[in-house]
Structure 1
Amino acid sequence: MGHVNVVSPKRIRPAIKGTAVGNFMEWYDFGIYGYLTVTMTSVFTDGLPEQWQLLAVMFGFAVSYLVRPIGGMVLGPLGDKIGRQKILYVTMAMMALSTALIGLLPTAAAVGGWALVLLYLLKLIQGFSTGGEYAGATTYIAEFSSDKRRGFFGSFLDMGSYIGFAAGATVVAVTTWILEAAVGPDAMADFGWRIPFLTAIPLGIIAVYLRTRIPETPAFEDNIDNETEQTVKDPDDPYARLSLLGVIRHHWRALLIGFAIVAATNTAGYALTSYMPVYLEEQIGMHSASAAAVTAPILVVMSLLLPLVGGWSDRVGRKPVYIAAVVSTLVLLVPAFLIMNTGSLPAVIIALAMVAVPTGLYVALSASALPALFPTASRYSGMGLSYNFAVSIFGGTTPLVTQFLLQQTNLNIVPALYIMVFAVIAGVALLFMTESSRRPLPGSFPTVESDEEAEALIRRHEQDPFFDTVGMPFTEEEKKEALATAR
């Protein structure tokens, strides 16, 4: 019963830094692409009918999500087999390279329709890599965090995401202001749009370097040690490493719960980030630089508050915080878009802050609640399936679908209604979700932050309501002992 992983905060910090940098890069690209969407219509859609030009560039955002499930299905099982760290290194390199290459693409004026084809190709490469990135990063950080503070530490992962988006938006805004003042109003469309994408080169080098320095997670190493000792693997054991079909067979309920929560989280998140630049420019009439400048501070403030929300979930539980996210979505979203459409700058800031409330409540829990739905041996695979299918179908398509619905209905609150539908679905899913706060991850040994905590846990484990030996990666003899103790 002495199997307790001790991961001190000193070891957790570099792990958080190494994983958060990947999310930063992923969302840095989203920020650049989102705030250059309108500018890039003139660069990549020359010759298309006017009513399709904006949608064509927005489709470039959506198309990357079409292959995310494929990336999850390929990279997830690999991450469960050879390790989280190795796959996260590969996904980081692919993301940084494809982002930088967008900045080198020829325009439609030079190669016609091939410009869009090449853009879509690079977005597909990004989508494949991100199919393994977030699933792997959340799995990694959840397994490296202590049970009592998994919500707090996990929230830093999504802090990196939204700060990355804000950084991308800021780079676009600063580049636009400088070039338009120095060169003229056509500078961004002529060549300036390339600069933000090319900044991914130095950032990518730093990010890849940090990824090479993160260790493997203790939970994965425990599980691999257990697999090595086992001569026969039981395909009917839900805690064993399973094929994708095995994951679906044994963990279909967790997959559906994760799918519903991810859909709600990302329709809100992508509406606030990737779709908001287009909405503010096209619907409210703001300049692209102003739209970026007004959104970035909201995202930074929300990001800085995520650890408070994550820490709160460690105390009160994940489910109560998720419920707060659902309720605030239903209460705040319609008023937010009504206020935004008054068009004044203070109204836009207030409205964005209102949209950020449920978004922050959702995303602060993603790296702690979602990986806890699956056992260690199949966690990367389970996250790869539930997260990527939900994001592909509903998250990444949010800008495209909401813009299309807006054009068809002329109803300014369509984005709010769209997000609210998924909040209701997530609310139903929460009825079937098991609380995971302060508990060991399924299929893992308990994780604490000091030897003293480990000794205390071993002494009182029989009285600890959060301590469950079922599914822990014991050897066969230790499993028999654990079952005997449970009886």
Structure 2
Amino acid sequence: MGITDTADGVGTAVLTDDERRRRMRKVITAAGVGHFVEWFDFGLYGTLATVIALHFFETGDPQAALLSSFGVFAAGFIMRPIGGLFFGSMGDRIGRRTTLGLVIMVTSGATFIMGILPTYDAIGLVAPLLLVIVRLVQGFAAGGESSGATTLLAEYAPSNRRGFVSSFVDVFGFAAFVAGSGLVLLFTATLGSQALNDWGWRAMFALALPLGAAGLYLRLKLEDTPEFQKIKEKGEVAAKPLRTSISRWWKALLFCVGFVVLKAVGHWILQTFMPSYLQTDLKFDQQTAYAVTTIGLAAIMILVPLFGLLSDRIGRKPVMIIGAAGFIVLTYPTLMLMGSGAFLAAVVAMIILGVFMAAYDGAMSAAMAELFPTNIRYGSMAIAYNISVAAFGGITPWFSQSLISWTGNTYAPAFYVMGAAVITLVVVIGARETAKSPLIEKG
């Protein structure tokens, strides 16, 4: 049986079912591997935050050094909206494929450089300054990644599987953090924490170059999306996509910003803050902390596409509401469960939070893409996504650690997560359901 060669079944070329499935696997792999590389590079910083604090900041006060490390992490997010403006506009004007190739080149190069930087002991205060510069470049490139990969998958996906296909953005994103956390866990288990602190962290950042080359090759082997090719053939590519987004689609931009608040905070709590939180505040040893994080992130990776599929069947809103409500009700109890000090309790707590993160992520990627028309989709998502991530996500590790210092309450970060979930829940309830709608073509 043949089916038309467009995401929503409108076109002239015909593919067989097997050909369509093979193409979809190729697209998911290319988008996913590139996304994996992007977030493996980006996430290593968070996983190794305590190690970076030892090498790039004054170590007399470990808590202050860790806060400084998280401060540099947040600095990278300052550049994400700028990167989103740059790469988002480029993606809507010249295409998704070429833009995503450039994104991965910049990120991989910046991450490799991070691994060869001289330390505080070698050059003093210049070391953290160089670290900030590299993080700014990394953040600039990251501004074009998530929205671009989501656009690519959503525009290739069949309309009745858009949630499932788009969810692979987060599958590969969490896989990257699992790989990073798992690699650190394996390294410390086999060679010890001292080797990791001495030279192992540099070796992990050096992996950015070969991984980046692989991701670039896969992305450039793709054709651009059927949806983008369609508007290009019709001469409907937006000359000034950002102006169109802000002037005509500002309500959709606001909804998208609200959607991303919980995603931003939830991701960076679980992916970046959690390893150091378990070590510094809950007094788990380094190896156990990495094990808890790795297991929890692996659970999210497995569950995300299942919730994406569920959102195709029952709608985006019900699934996103489940995720947001779960964070509101259970974040504080799960952190208390972690605080019991037992390994199994910490794993269970991490998985509970992971279920709600997976539910929210599984539906949200498609929901964002469905808010905007094809000729401004990449740029619109990039603007909204990165404003929200910069405002709420980038400060998550630093602010969460600061809440503990200010209040003396080890579980205080829960209040920040719960607040983000409340904001997002209100926005989701007010949004329209888009799961059964075709992608809008022109704005």
| TM-score interval, normalised by the smaller of the two chains | over 0.9
Distance in structure 2 (CA, Å) of the matches to 1:12 and 1:241 = 29
Distance in structure 1 (CA, Å) of the matches to 2:21 and 2:253 = 31
Sort the Cα spacing of 1:287 and 1:49 in 2 relative to 1 into closer, same or farther, 3 A: closer
Sort the Cα spacing of 1:439 and 1:282 in 2 relative to 1 into closer, same or farther, 3 A: same
Sort the Cα spacing of 1:2 and 1:10 in 2 relative to 1 into closer, same or farther, 3 A: closer
Residue identity matched to 1:227: G
Maintained 8 Å contact 1:259/1:387: yes
Residue identity matched to 2:147: A
Residue 436 (structure 1) shift: 1.4
Structure 2 equivalent of residue 149 of structure 1: 161
* Greater shift in the superposed pair: 286-295 or 380-389: 286-295
The correspondence of residues 313-352 of structure 1 with structure 2, limited to 5 A, is 313-352=311-350
Structure 2 equivalent of residue 215 of structure 1: 223
Structure 2 equivalent of residue 425 of structure 1: 423
Residue 31 (structure 1) shift: 3.5
Secondary structure, counterpart of 2:319 in structure 1 = helix
Distance in structure 2 (CA, Å) of the matches to 1:278 and 1:154 = 30
Structure 1 equivalent of residue 181 of structure 2: 169
Structure 1 equivalent of residue 206 of structure 2: 198
Distance in structure 2 (CA, Å) of the matches to 1:319 and 1:246 = 26
Maintained 8 Å contact 1:281/1:288: yes
Secondary structure, counterpart of 2:335 in structure 1 = helix
The correspondence of residues 65-76 of structure 1 with structure 2, limited to 5 A, is 65-76=77-88
Residue from 88, 92, 115 that aligns with 2:104: 92
- Percent identity among equivalent residues? 36
Structure 2 equivalent of residue 16 of structure 1: 28
Distance in structure 1 (CA, Å) of the matches to 2:42 and 2:384 = 21
Distance in structure 2 (CA, Å) of the matches to 1:4 and 1:346 = 53
Maintained 8 Å contact 1:149/1:438: no
Distance in structure 2 (CA, Å) of the matches to 1:192 and 1:262 = 34
Distance in structure 2 (CA, Å) of the matches to 1:50 and 1:329 = 30
Q: Given the alignment of the two structures, is residue 44 of structure 1 paired with residue 56 of structure 2, yes or no?
A: yes
Distance in structure 2 (CA, Å) of the matches to 1:31 and 1:73 = 22
* Greater shift in the superposed pair: 197-206 or 278-287: 197-206
Sort the Cα spacing of 1:412 and 1:241 in 2 relative to 1 into closer, same or farther, 3 A: farther
> Deviation per CA, 1:293-325, whole angstroms, max 9, x where unpaired?
221122112211211110100000001101111
Residue 412 (structure 1) shift: 2.3
Residue from 234, 252, 257 that aligns with 1:226: 234
Higher relative contact order (Cα pairs below 8 Å, separated by 6+ residues): 1
Unmatched tracts of structure 2, length 5 or more: 1-7
Maintained 8 Å contact 2:72/2:135: yes
Larger radius of gyration: 1
Distance in structure 2 (CA, Å) of the matches to 1:220 and 1:65 = 29
Maintained 8 Å contact 1:322/1:361: yes
Distance in structure 2 (CA, Å) of the matches to 1:268 and 1:305 = 15
Residue identity matched to 1:327: A
What is the total number of aligned residue pairs between the two structures?
431
Residue 189 (structure 1) shift: 2.4
Maintained 8 Å contact 2:369/2:377: yes
Distance in structure 2 (CA, Å) of the matches to 1:378 and 1:163 = 29
Q: Given the alignment of the two structures, is residue 81 of structure 1 paired with residue 100 of structure 2, yes or no?
A: no
Residue from 178, 182, 187 that aligns with 2:190: 178
> Deviation per CA, 1:244-281, whole angstroms, max 9, x where unpaired?
23311211111111111101112111111111011101
Sort the Cα spacing of 1:47 and 1:31 in 2 relative to 1 into closer, same or farther, 3 A: closer
Structure 2 equivalent of residue 61 of structure 1: 73
Distance in structure 2 (CA, Å) of the matches to 1:123 and 1:178 = 29
Structure 2 equivalent of residue 275 of structure 1: 273
Structure 1 equivalent of residue 115 of structure 2: 103
Secondary structure, counterpart of 2:222 in structure 1 = coil
When the two chains are superposed, the root-mean-square deviation of aligned CA atoms in Å is: 1.9
Structure 2 equivalent of residue 436 of structure 1: 434
Structure 2 equivalent of residue 462 of structure 1: none
Residue from 128, 131, 138 that aligns with 1:116: 128
Structure 2 equivalent of residue 450 of structure 1: none
* Greater shift in the superposed pair: 280-289 or 144-153: 280-289
Structure 2 equivalent of residue 262 of structure 1: 260
* Greater shift in the superposed pair: 145-154 or 298-307: 298-307
> Deviation per CA, 1:7-32, whole angstroms, max 9, x where unpaired?
72221111111111122122212442
Distance in structure 2 (CA, Å) of the matches to 1:391 and 1:430 = 17
Maintained 8 Å contact 2:299/2:351: no
* Greater shift in the superposed pair: 341-350 or 25-34: 25-34
Distance in structure 2 (CA, Å) of the matches to 1:355 and 1:304 = 14
TM-score, with structure 2 as normaliser? 0.93
Maintained 8 Å contact 2:260/2:385: yes
Structure 1 equivalent of residue 387 of structure 2: 389
Secondary structure, counterpart of 2:430 in structure 1 = coil
Structure 1 equivalent of residue 363 of structure 2: 365
Residue 52 (structure 1) shift: 2.6
Structure 1 equivalent of residue 143 of structure 2: 131
Secondary structure, counterpart of 2:419 in structure 1 = helix
Residue from 289, 297, 301 that aligns with 2:287: 289
Secondary structure, counterpart of 1:442 in structure 2 = coil
Residue identity matched to 2:262: A
Maintained 8 Å contact 1:223/1:377: yes
